[in-house]
Amino acid sequence: MLAAGCGGGQELTLAVAVLPSELPVYRAAVADFERASGRHVVVVPQQYADIRRALAAERAARRGTLDLVELDVYSLAAAARDVAVLSRADVADLLDELDPAAVRAGTVDGLRFLPHRVSWQALIYDHAVLGNPPATWDELLAVARSHPGKIGFKGARYEGLTCDVLPFVWAAGGRGDVLDDAGAIAAFRLFAALAPYLHPESATMKEPAIAEAMARGELVLHLNWPFVMSLYASQGLSPDPIRSAPLPRGPAGRATVLGGGYLALPANAPHREEALALARHLLGRDAQERFARELGWFSARRDVAVEAGGAALGGFAAMRDVVRPRPERADYPLISRQWQEAFRAVAFSRTDPEAALRAAAARLASERH
Amino acid sequence: MRRDSLLALPLVGYLALFLVYPTLYAVKLAFTDTIAGSFPSLQNFRTLAGDALFWAAVGGNLVLPVLTVGLELASGLALALLLAARLPGRRLLRAAIVVPFALPEIVFLTIMRHILAPRGYANGALAAAGFEPVGWLLPGRWTTYLTVVVVDAWHTTPVVFLMLLAALSALPEEVGEAARVDGARGVRRFIHITLPLLAPAILAALMLRGLDALRVFATPLVLTGVEGVPVVSTYAYHQWSDYGNDGAAAAAASVLALLSVVLAVPLLRRRRAA
């Protein structure tokens, strides 16, 4: 149990998934709120999974110590019953400033989650080797053919793989929640064409492993989140040779998956009004600009620009207008797993794309029943 | 109640709180359908049974410990025999052998991962010598299983080595002398004199490492991820961390616990007989 509790009146407890290196900056932003409100805030840095479990435990216990929590966008639907519904009237001014797509992702049977920071994937590429990154699917295939074994996908069975798959499905006009529509089939035909040229460890790769492989020069391109650029910068690998670029354009354009952290008030938050005031402070322009400037976070506020990271973050900035939330459905985790299984069948077992997608759709139908 | 029984109460309380309660809770979780909220339910075990990765993990959990412990016993015994003799620099050699075990596991494995990566130091050395690179850690290949076995054995052989070295040092010298007088030398002396005298220590090492090897986790996970060389513990971790499926993770952990008990019983019986 992570709670550093505060039954008394003066302390608020905030559980957020910040890294130890990010904590001083985050704490400084919270200190502004403390000065203005006279409230002390206990910031508990935790992983998203631990926050989610603490939240569920507090709901089961019907009493709580957490006033405000940050949750991963992927887990919002699952955590919806553990948090309070927010009154739109209470945050109307805030909603006017936030990206509607990001707000929509936080609406699960009512507005429950507010976007604390948003994130999305871009193409990470080796500028020294490729020069210009591939801008279309045909160019991507051409790069793969000329650099066999050096194209990376996060191919392990986990949500990160779905985040690699969905942008291609959307870019081909697919819905994202239908496994065998025309867009999905077109995207999986591309995956089948890329399969022979994938890095041989793709089947087990997650974010850290694929980022390491790129740093060792084993990859010329892969998809990843903005945090890798600061990692490469700290290793002297960015902005040269490693840079970011927009994802290659498909038959229906470009798209990328929305990620990030959302703030919510636990169902049993002991100081709801004060917690909402803290949330408003953290989502305010000053705090969000500080996070963007000093931590490199992307804000869902439309009046806070993606921090101009030059060549390093340029690809991410260029993708901002095509960020899409994952399908907003209660059975999304089941769909996500089938995207993963279908990709692995096509990429690593060389199954025919249409057959793999049909099989995935059949499994999904069976699981739903 | 006797006074000495009362003294055991804090320990009993500790074990009840931190061992018995979590174990019972995990078993309850394993038999709970976390979506429907119903108990008892076999849903989590059905999930496991329908997942090919789980069966690959069970297979890995049977093969990996056998190979790893076998290699550890062979190399630990060989090193103990070598360094029990009065070799020059043997203290330095003993220290060098223990180094992998002295390193924090995650540090040791991260170093190994960098050495064995496709463009790592091992393949760099092979390339410099004019050889083709080797796919040490490619998922699903027998070479990858072998790599995990060797790395895990390298890390934990010092345990076996130290146990057997201590046992060798404690062997009565007069038995060796008598064998030498009777003309038993070399391999015959090893097989008929040294090995039987070392049998209790070997069995103890086999039990200690055998049970520990069933819980193998960090080596396959750090080197190859969940799918590269799956075992039940990494599968449970995968269900918990990647899918947030606590029930299936608890079910897999229960299977692993059952597997450990089933395999431990013959070893314990053998130990008691010895």
Is A329 contained in some domain? yes
Location of structure tokens 């939240």? A55
A269 and A229, same domain (yes or no): no
Contact (CB<8Å) B226/A156: yes
What pLDDT was estimated at residue B267? 74
A339 and A233, same domain (yes or no): yes
Which CATH number do you get for residue A70? 3.40.190.10
- Asked if A248 contacts A317 with a C-beta cutoff of 8 angstroms, the reply is no
What pLDDT was estimated at residue A4? 43
Q: Which two tokens stand for residue A121?
A: 């994937």
Which chain A residues are closer than 8 Å to B140 by Cβ? 203
A216 at interface of B, judged by CB pairs closer than 8 A: yes
Which chain A residues are closer than 8 Å to B226 by Cβ? 156-157, 204
Q: What is chain A's mean pLDDT, rounded?
A: 91
Choose the closest CB to B227 out of A204, A217, A337. Answer: A204
- Asked if A84 contacts A279 with a C-beta cutoff of 8 angstroms, the reply is no
A186 and A281, same domain (yes or no): no
What pLDDT was estimated at residue A289? 92
B123 at interface of A, judged by CB pairs closer than 8 A: no
Choose the closest CB to A204 out of B135, B228, B241. Answer: B228
Encode pLDDT of A168-215 as tens digits: 999 999 999 999 999 999 999 999 999 999 999 999 999 989 999 999
Determine the distance in angstroms separating the CA of B258 from the nearest CA of chain A, rounded to an integer.
26
Encode pLDDT of A350-362 as tens digits: 999 999 999 999 9
Is A44 contained in some domain? yes
* Alpha-carbon distances of B117 from A50, A161, B110, rounded to whole Å: 31, 21, 10
Which chain B residues are closer than 8 Å to A205 by Cβ? 225
Choose the closest CB to B225 out of A78, A209, A218. Answer: A209
Best residue of B132, B240, B243, B245 to probe chain A, by most A CBs closer than 10 Å: B243
Is residue A293's pLDDT more than 90?
A: no
Best residue of A159, A199, A201 to probe chain B, by most B CBs closer than 10 Å: A201
Is residue A27's pLDDT more than 60?
A: yes
Which chain A residues are closer than 8 Å to B135 by Cβ? 200
Percentage of chain A lying above the pLDDT 70 cut: 96
Is A6 contained in some domain? no
Is A2 contained in some domain? no
- Asked if B155 contacts B108 with a C-beta cutoff of 8 angstroms, the reply is yes
A43 and A165, same domain (yes or no): no
A50 at interface of B, judged by CB pairs closer than 8 A: no
Is residue A2's pLDDT more than 50?
A: no
Is residue A368's pLDDT more than 80?
A: no
Which chain B residues are closer than 8 Å to A337 by Cβ? 243
What pLDDT was estimated at residue A1? 37
CA angle centred on A354, ends A351 and A355, rounded to 5°: 55
A206 and A66, same domain (yes or no): no
pLDDT level of residue A111 (50, 70, 90 thresholds):
very high
Choose the closest CB to A201 out of B53, B139, B244. Answer: B139
Residue A346's nearest CA partner among A86, A168, A221 is A168
Is residue A337's pLDDT more than 90?
A: yes
Location of structure tokens 């193409």? A123
Which chain B residues are closer than 8 Å to A200 by Cβ? 118, 135, 138
Determine the distance in angstroms separating the CA of B56 from the nearest CA of chain A, rounded to an integer.
14
Go through the domains of chain B in sequence order and give each one's CATH number: 64-229 (1.10.3720.10)
Q: Which residue of B has its CA nearest to A79?
A: B244
Is A242 contained in some domain? yes
Residue numbers of the domain that contains A194: 121-256+325-368
Listed range (A22-36, A73-87, B218-232) with the worst mean pLDDT? A73-87
User: Reduced to 3 DSSP states, what percent helix, strand and coil does chain B have, rounded to the nearest 5?
Assistant: 80, 0, 20
What pLDDT was estimated at residue B59? 94
Is residue B93's pLDDT more than 50?
A: yes
Q: Which residue of B has its CA nearest to A363?
A: B50
DSSP 3-state of A114: strand
Is residue A312's pLDDT more than 80?
A: no
Is residue A9's pLDDT more than 60?
A: no
ipTM metric: 0.80
A242 and A346, same domain (yes or no): yes
A301 and A165, same domain (yes or no): no
Best residue of A204, A216, A343, A348 to probe chain B, by most B CBs closer than 10 Å: A204
Number of structural domains (chain A) is 2
What pLDDT was estimated at residue B211? 87
A309 and A242, same domain (yes or no): no
The DSSP H or E segment spanning A277 is helix A272-282
